[in-house]
């Protein structure tokens, strides 16, 4: 070993950390090498000097140590208890989410929370964008139940709870309801949900005047090419508007012409005679039936829920959510909404000029068509399905008139009940199921038509 | 330790009295500040008390104990950046003369400053080998560093300490 290697080993030699052979070799070298010998001596002196640096000892306070240990143990127990509680809460939340099928998703600056198949509650994180961007291709629906939970872009315009249930007006674009414009854009629309049942919708007037205006199209199960729509076409004397222009009838121009010709009041009775036959609808919904209203035609609604009325005719002068009724009034249709229970109102005597008031009922032998659509998701108003109810409805029908009943309740099929009643009491009935189509707003539907005579049902076309 | 684990409550107090002086001196040499050492020493034995039921004698008890102390000293050093000159308030050997006592105190101060100038890894090895008389195999287990590396560090520590002492004006004749 040379001096460099020896000097690296000198500290270990001093402390006795070399093997016997290394120690002997180092000793032999140091005895013959004066510099290495001096190094050994110097480091030995450092070692002796280190002994001078004694450090003071401290005493541990054992009673205090026991107290510290007790406190530490208590805080450890508390910590584990908190962890256990948090873990249990998390497990419960996960279990609840699993059982309830809880789903939280973000789309279009909205947080959408839904569970157990319920319609989603939409929480706007920012003002929503207009719902007109890239909806899927239009397709007919398989049922008339609400599919709003399938549409993350739908957003709530009005949530309302009335005595008769939970009502929601939503603006949106469930895929099966979307109409495709000529340039590929899509129409916005509003729709009414009662519970989970879709009770009508209306296309909004397009912002772009070059786009087709579908705001008068009777939608969902009232569609012009659905069972009731085809019946209403029978009463379209002029036979126009069925193709091409879906939103207007040329014969609507009668209103200004008639007003000029009749000089208003003196000859108004003649004008009434000149209009299409009256019809009534029990259950206003979104007012779709009003879209069939022509100038001077009597369009009566029997509605029990003030909240539903205010959606089409707000009392405070605000803009309505649905424009069918307002538009029909503008066209000159004689639209009247008789508030209260339909059967009670129908039973009251008709008083001309008092329509809409509590004292007024429906006129006898007046309506060509009475549409009964008062069946919500959860409850069937059974007093509208009794023999006495049908006798009352038939009393209000004009000769040749029919009653159309929407078979919308998902839990109770009304067809066999009405069929039994009809067979027992000798009136005619017919059920028509419609699968819907690709036309804008045309969904599937199920209708039961009832009439005092079988001949009356000739206006009903099989689908 | 075994007796304490077997349920002898007094064994822990015996253990504390046996090891409190070596541990506190070790901490004192690593950290320097007396006020911190008192708390650290208390904390070392608190950890021993809390971890006692889980202790398994896979190595020497002293190695495990000094491991706890070393970790606490390192944490304290991180909280007090920069080397701290050691406090030297210990009483000189009563057998020394007045001049001898003064020279002893002066030497202790110089040594404290010289040690404080050593990097922590070198200082730890020097303290464990010289003052705790720990062999390099136990040290390797405690510090998690190979024994050969620790031997190199020890040689470097002693050589550099001599250099620092010379810079501080120490000469071998001052050894008393």
Span B79-105, pLDDT tens digits = 766 555 554 444 445 454 555 555 666
Q: Looking up tokens 């991180």, which residue turns up?
A: B78
Contact present, A110 and A172 (Cβ < 8 Å): no
Q: How many CB pairs under 8 A join A and B?
A: 110
Task: Give the dihedral sign, CA A190/A195/A198/A200.
Answer: negative
For position A174, what pLDDT does the model report?
46
pLDDT at B49 over 80: yes
For position A99, what pLDDT does the model report?
76
Contact criterion met (CB < 8 Å) for A49 and B29 = no
Kindly report, residue by residue over A166-185, the tens digit of the pLDDT: 888 888 754 434 444 444 55
CA A291 to chain centre: 24
DSSP result, A200-269: EEEEPPPSSTTS---TT---BTT-TTSHHHHHHHHT-TT--SSSS-SS--GGGGHHHHHHHHHTTGGGHH
pLDDT-based confidence at residue B147 (cuts at 50, 70, 90): very high
Question: By C-alpha distance, which of B55, B57, B86, B39 is closest to A64?
Answer: B39
Name A193's bridge partners.
A168, A198
For position A347, what pLDDT does the model report?
85
Q: How far is A88 from chain B (nearest CA, A)?
A: 28
For position A60, what pLDDT does the model report?
85
List of residues 6+ apart from A92 with CB closer than 8 A: none
ipTM score for this prediction: 0.76
For position A264, what pLDDT does the model report?
41
Name A107's bridge partners.
A110
Q: Touching check for B28 and chain A: CB below 8 Å?
A: yes
For position B102, what pLDDT does the model report?
54
Return d(Cα B61, Cα A143) in angstroms, integer. Answer: 79
pLDDT below 50 — which residues of chain A?
117-150, 152, 174-183, 242-245, 247, 255-272
For position A263, what pLDDT does the model report?
40
- Closest residue in B to A61 (Cα–Cα): B42
Contacts 24+ apart (CB under 8 A), A15-19: A15/A47, A15/B129, A15/B130, A15/B154, A17/B135, A17/B136, A17/B151
pLDDT-based confidence at residue B62 (cuts at 50, 70, 90): confident
Contact present, A296 and A333 (Cβ < 8 Å): yes
What is the mean predicted confidence (pLDDT) over B130-155?
A: 90
For position A70, what pLDDT does the model report?
87
Q: Touching check for B41 and chain A: CB below 8 Å?
A: yes
- Closest residue in B to A13 (Cα–Cα): B155
Kindly report, residue by residue over B113-142, the tens digit of the pLDDT: 888 888 889 999 999 999 888 889 989 988
Point out the residue among A10, A55, A59 whose CB comes nearest to the CB of B29. A55
pTM score = 0.47
Question: By C-alpha distance, which of A342, A356, A331 is closest to A386?
Answer: A342
pLDDT-based confidence at residue B175 (cuts at 50, 70, 90): very low
Contact criterion met (CB < 8 Å) for B172 and A11 = no
- φ, ψ of residue A32 to 5 degrees: the values are -105, -5
Parallel, antiparallel, or unpaired for β A279-282 and A298-303?
Answer: parallel
Kindly report, residue by residue over B36-48, the tens digit of the pLDDT: 888 899 999 999 8
Q: Tally Cβ neighbours within 10 Å of residue A347.
A: 15
Return d(Cα A193, Cα A119) in angstroms, integer. Answer: 10
Q: Touching check for B29 and chain A: CB below 8 Å?
A: yes
Task: Give the dihedral sign, CA A310/A316/A322/A323.
Answer: positive
For position A164, what pLDDT does the model report?
76
Task: Write the burial class of residue B55 (CB in 10 Å: 0-12 exposed, 13-18 middle, 19+ buried).
Answer: middle
- Closest residue in A to B129 (Cα–Cα): A15
Kindly report, residue by residue over B64-80, the tens digit of the pLDDT: 899 899 999 888 888 76
Q: Which of A26, A46, A59 to mutate to test the interface with B (most CBs of B within 10 A)?
A: A46
């Amino acid at each position: 070993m040379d001096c460099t290697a020896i000097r690296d080993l000198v500290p270990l030699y001093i402390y006795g950390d070399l093997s016997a052979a290394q120690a002997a070799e180092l000793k032999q070298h140091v005895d013959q090498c004066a510099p290495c010998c001096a190094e050994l001596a110097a480091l030995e002196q450092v070692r002796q000097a280190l002994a001078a640096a004694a450090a003071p000892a401290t005493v541990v306070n054992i009673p205090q140590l026991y107290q510290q240990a007790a406190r530490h143990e208590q805080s450890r127990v508390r910590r584990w208890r908190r962890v256990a509680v948090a873990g249990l809460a998390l497990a419960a939340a996960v279990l609840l989410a699993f059982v309830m099928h809880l789903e939280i998703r973000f789309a279009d600056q909205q947080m959408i929370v839904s569970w157990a198949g319920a319609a989603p509650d939409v929480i706007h994180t920012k003002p929503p964008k207009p719902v007109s961007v890239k909806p899927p291709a239009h397709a007919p629906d398989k049922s008339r139940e609400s599919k709003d939970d399938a549409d993350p872009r739908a957003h709530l315009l009005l949530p309302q709870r009335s005595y008769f249930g939970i009502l929601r007006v939503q603006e949106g674009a469930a895929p099966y309801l979307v109409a495709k414009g000529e340039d590929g854009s899509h129409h916005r629309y509003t729709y009414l949900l009662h519970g989970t049942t879709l009770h009508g919708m209306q296309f909004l007037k397009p912002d772009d005047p070059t786009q087709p205006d579908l705001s008068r199209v009777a939608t969902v199960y009232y569609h012009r090419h659905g069972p009731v729509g085809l019946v209403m076409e029978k009463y379209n004397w002029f036979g126009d508007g069925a193709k091409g222009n879906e939103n207007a009838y040329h014969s609507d121009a009668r209103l200004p012409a008639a007003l000029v010709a009749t000089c208003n009041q003196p000859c108004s009775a003649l004008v009434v005679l000149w209009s299409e036959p009256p019809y009534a609808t029990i259950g206003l919904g979104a007012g779709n039936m009003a879209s069939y209203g022509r100038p001077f035609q009597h369009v009566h609604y029997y509605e029990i829920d003030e909240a539903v009325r205010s959606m089409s005719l707000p009392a405070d002068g605000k803009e309505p959510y649905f424009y069918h009724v307002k538009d029909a009034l503008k066209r000159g249709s004689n639209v009247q909404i008789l508030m209260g229970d339909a059967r009670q109102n129908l039973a009251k005597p008709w008083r001309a000029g008092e329509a809409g008031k509590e004292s007024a009922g429906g006129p006898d032998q007046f309506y060509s068509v009475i549409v009964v659509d008062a069946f919500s998701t959860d409850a069937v108003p059974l007093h509208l399905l009794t023999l006495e109810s049908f006798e009352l409805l038939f009393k209000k029908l004009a000769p040749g008139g029919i009653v159309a009943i929407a078979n919308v309740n998902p839990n109770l099929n009304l067809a066999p009940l009405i069929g039994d009643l009809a067979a027992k009491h000798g009136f005619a009935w017919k059920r028509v199921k419609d699968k819907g189509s690709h036309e804008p707003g045309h969904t599937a539907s199920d209708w039961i038509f009832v009439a005092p005579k079988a001949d009356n049902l000739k206006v009903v076309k099989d689908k | 330790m075994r007796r304490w684990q077997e349920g002898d409550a007094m064994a822990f107090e015996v253990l504390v009295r046996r090891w409190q002086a070596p541990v506190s001196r070790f901490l004192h040499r690593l950290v320097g500040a007396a006020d911190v050492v008192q708390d650290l020493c208390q904390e070392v034995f608190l950890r021993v008390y809390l971890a006692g039921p889980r202790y398994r004698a896979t190595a020497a008890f002293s190695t495990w104990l000094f491991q706890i102390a070393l970790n606490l000293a390192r944490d304290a050093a991180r909280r007090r950046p920069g080397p701290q000159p050691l406090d030297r308030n210990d009483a000189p050997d009563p057998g020394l003369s007045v001049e001898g006592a003064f020279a002893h105190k002066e030497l202790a101060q110089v040594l404290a400053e010289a040690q404080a100038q050593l990097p922590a890894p070198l200082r730890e090895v020097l303290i464990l080998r010289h003052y705790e008389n720990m062999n390099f195999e136990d040290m390797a287990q405690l510090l998690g560093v190979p024994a050969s590396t620790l031997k190199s560090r020890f040689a470097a520590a002693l050589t550099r300490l001599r250099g620092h002492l010379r810079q501080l004006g120490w000469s071998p004749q001052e050894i008393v």
